[in-house]
Structure 1
């Protein structure tokens, strides 16, 4: 129990250091102000890995059989994107406990007798005593995948000591090495994307992104996970700094099945599809809505984007014009179309009479940006501007009177919104957001 507490305290200290890194300039950082003609620096933030990235890294390190069922520290959306919010996230006290629970569960599964030999890769000379050679081998191998870079000699030695102390205390080598793994999974180097710079040999007094940091950027962008062995090797040799090698790696990575995971993560973030996790609909107004419809709506849009952009390599603009998609039996019921296929999903082309073209006329967008019991031209219009045109709409003033626009006796939704636009405190935003939203008003709140 004392060893577990020490592991948690070490993690707390490390996470506190991340806060310092994020707000205190390094004393060894280059004096950018002295070389304005050489570089035009941009702000680089420490990003906390998302839940999906956490899952991918664990899978890439220990295999797909490791189960993660505990709760995660919530991600944060900023300026419409989770990717931006991650750069301003820390770890709360409750979140730290959640990460500790996750780390402990992962370690228990890695050292389960059914997996232990395959995942650890070595056996101690004596199962009841510390073994620095075997411990160092596992820590070095697992640490490189978890940290997305090789561990330093000091880092390896620190974890080896943790393993030795734990083994001596418990009288069991695996118990000690398990503690070392838990401690690695609790460090900022795992939970955050911490990038480093190195001197640029082609530009005196200038710095460039370190090779391992560049590899991690590529893998998180294209795969939403950690670099593989080939990408890490390109970083180790420095080849990744060569433009030809960089292009080669990008071509290889976009041809990989993992590229679909990266694109899914990108569009879940961009289209705010994580909103389906908490979407609620009035059962009286929309009796067809259930969890299966919710899950299917999100999946339909992701499958459509992957099919058009990745598999068929079509123009991005076709996401907004194509009537080609995929559906399943749950969505067929919502769209009121037949579903003769025996497969779980089947290709479908909407006829022109359906007036459905592109992802903004799919259930995902229409249901997600509506009220629980009705459609919402304003919400849809706001999201069209925010998501696709990068034009956020300010929050309405606190004293706005919504009673007229909500009163059914004041006419149709269109009539009420047109009247609402005449309000001097509302017109500047609603004249921009409502017209495109009203163009989708022939679709109800379920889509």
Structure 2
């Protein structure tokens, strides 16, 4: 099958497929079967008005993979995969997904999961979701069985997020028949075919295809099936449902009216909360909890349970602000309203009263508590600290890069960090020790950018416990930050709430989360318009997501992504 593939996307697919082919049927009960190498690209769009070109291949995130399995096979199917590390690029995992491949070991894990999922899906309690017709009862009938063809067609379309092509369908039918005849079991054949679908690049990667815009041969836009996937993963963090795939098939998604109708439908679903959660998990870098450790001697209250609760607390606070009617995103920096469960109550030193130990209850910090916004929560302060102490520098870098899109340069390779802990540095507080460290000329520039914001948060230790002193010395939380004098976390929160760079940064991150790439120069006008609309909408994140999802400009492919090579996709 000839396919036009952008050079950028072809490199991505080739790197990943190098792991797929040798591992495909290793260690299987049916490994004596020779099904042949998998098709590098197993699905294409249905014939349309223009040829398509593969322009991106983004590896599914863990949450997207789990959502896909749940949607297709049901909530009772257990997913047990050792996911490979996700890659953060330009501050987002969503951008890193475009550079993430799959190693041989990673593919073996995916394949083991595929076999397990297939077995569970064919178990009696789940079977009706997959086997929707009268499947052949003997292996000899499988090569011509209409029901098998229907099952593979339906599963392929749901898993690949576009119709499975004739060649890929024929390959799966042959595989099912071969395995069934070898084992004498029809279900073994169907299981093998389902596993092959679950390990195909078109499932494990969000393969995006573009077509030329009528009347503008040099302008490329995503085809309807790629649009359906974009919309669904942005708003629901899940693959397209049947209705959205139907809108893609009819090409309704290529019209503004059809696009808006589907976006409005998805927005009306409670599943939008999952889309918002997915974005803020990436935006706030909450995935860092996966590898976070703390010095148990210094912080005995910190545990994996606290880490999980801290992550959930921040998401609950964000959702409470942005999901409500007229929700202003900027309130996440100043609100004293929060949610706690037992382990967090101990760290915040506040009373906790609930019927069960894992129950979440709303709580409002009093004005004198020092707590104001998500920057004073356990999550932010523990993620951006050292294992045994706080770090104004790490926190300052995070404030600038996450919320203001200001990239802080990496320290020089030969920077001398010993001044922070040397005997000559007699400062009792981190602030005093940093002043000594900043006396080094090569250190002062970056620290002048990072430290003011971090020092404002020094009333919170390395896991977010409130304090007023350090080593017996009173902590000074005042600083000058970009021309403003701020005092403490509350001052920093109000600065960020009113900083015009923050909403602009949020919109840039949200659009990059959707597209999987940093904005190109030709995107700037569209991004600027979205920023102004975000401000006019009262800084409402859900409306911003809807605007991005329904905007034709979001689907335009930059020229840098469309330089092509013609030949077999590989």
**TM-score scaled by length of structure 1:** 0.89
2:426 corresponds, among 407, 410, 422, to 410
Q: Is the 8 A contact 1:323 1:357 kept in 2?
A: yes
In structure 2, distance between residues paired with 1:206 and 1:432: 41
1:128 is displaced (CA, Å) by 4.1
In structure 2, distance between residues paired with 1:220 and 1:235: 15
In structure 2, distance between residues paired with 1:96 and 1:110: 20
Q: Is the 8 A contact 2:293 2:387 kept in 1?
A: yes
Do the aligned partners of residues 183 and 158 (structure 1) sit closer, same or farther apart at CA in structure 2, a change above 3 Å counting? same
Please give the per-residue CA displacement for 1:22-42, whole angstroms capped at 9, x wherever unaligned: xxxxxx779xxxxxxxxxxxx
Structure with greater strand percent:
2
Q: Which residue does 1:327 correspond to in 2?
A: 340
Q: Which residue does 1:221 correspond to in 2?
A: 234
In structure 1, distance between residues paired with 2:419 and 2:197: 57
1:254 is displaced (CA, Å) by 2.0
1:203 is displaced (CA, Å) by 4.5
Secondary structure in 2 matching 1:10: coil
Q: Is 1:102 the equivalent of 2:103?
A: no
2:247 corresponds, among 234, 248, 271, to 234
Q: Is 1:362 the equivalent of 2:362?
A: no
Q: Is the 8 A contact 1:371 1:445 kept in 2?
A: yes
Q: Is the 8 A contact 2:30 2:183 kept in 1?
A: no
In structure 2, distance between residues paired with 1:114 and 1:100: 23
Q: Which residue does 1:10 correspond to in 2?
A: 37
1:239 is displaced (CA, Å) by 1.4
Task: Give the unaligned 5+ runs of structure 1.
Answer: 19-27, 31-42
Q: Is the 8 A contact 1:61 1:146 kept in 2?
A: yes
In structure 2, distance between residues paired with 1:358 and 1:8: 57
Q: Is the 8 A contact 1:80 1:386 kept in 2?
A: yes
Do the aligned partners of residues 371 and 175 (structure 1) sit closer, same or farther apart at CA in structure 2, a change above 3 Å counting? same
Please give the per-residue CA displacement for 1:45-104, whole angstroms capped at 9, x wherever unaligned: 311111111111011111111101231122111122110110011111111111111111
1:59 corresponds, among 63, 66, 70, to 70
Q: Which residue does 1:187 correspond to in 2?
A: 200
Deviates more, 1:78-87 or 1:122-131: 122-131
In structure 2, distance between residues paired with 1:358 and 1:6: 59
Q: Is 1:208 the equivalent of 2:228?
A: no
Deviates more, 1:149-158 or 1:270-279: 149-158
2:446 corresponds, among 429, 434, 437, to 429
Q: Which residue does 1:79 correspond to in 2?
A: 90
Secondary structure in 2 matching 1:341: coil
1:2 is displaced (CA, Å) by 8.1
In structure 2, distance between residues paired with 1:204 and 1:73: 39
1:407 is displaced (CA, Å) by 3.8
Do the aligned partners of residues 382 and 207 (structure 1) sit closer, same or farther apart at CA in structure 2, a change above 3 Å counting? closer
1:387 is displaced (CA, Å) by 0.8
Q: Is 1:47 the equivalent of 2:76?
A: no
1:167 is displaced (CA, Å) by 1.3
Please give the per-residue CA displacement for 1:148-197, whole angstroms capped at 9, x wherever unaligned: 11112222222111111111211111111111111111111111111122
Secondary structure in 1 matching 2:37: helix
Q: Which residue does 1:35 correspond to in 2?
A: none
Secondary structure in 1 matching 2:221: strand
Q: Is 1:389 the equivalent of 2:416?
A: no
Highest relative contact order (Cα 8 Å, sep 6+), 1 or 2? 2
1:295 is displaced (CA, Å) by 0.8
Do the aligned partners of residues 197 and 45 (structure 1) sit closer, same or farther apart at CA in structure 2, a change above 3 Å counting? closer
Please give the per-residue CA displacement for 1:369-407, whole angstroms capped at 9, x wherever unaligned: 111111110110011111111122222222222112124
Deviates more, 1:250-259 or 1:429-438: 250-259
Structure with greater helix percent:
1
In structure 2, distance between residues paired with 1:212 and 1:29: 11
In structure 1, distance between residues paired with 2:389 and 2:236: 37
In structure 1, distance between residues paired with 2:137 and 2:35: 28
Q: Is the 8 A contact 1:7 1:182 kept in 2?
A: no
1:294 corresponds, among 307, 320, 323, to 307
1:124 corresponds, among 119, 135, 140, to 135
Q: Is the 8 A contact 1:8 1:186 kept in 2?
A: no
In structure 2, distance between residues paired with 1:407 and 1:133: 77
Q: Is 1:419 the equivalent of 2:436?
A: yes
In structure 1, distance between residues paired with 2:213 and 2:314: 43
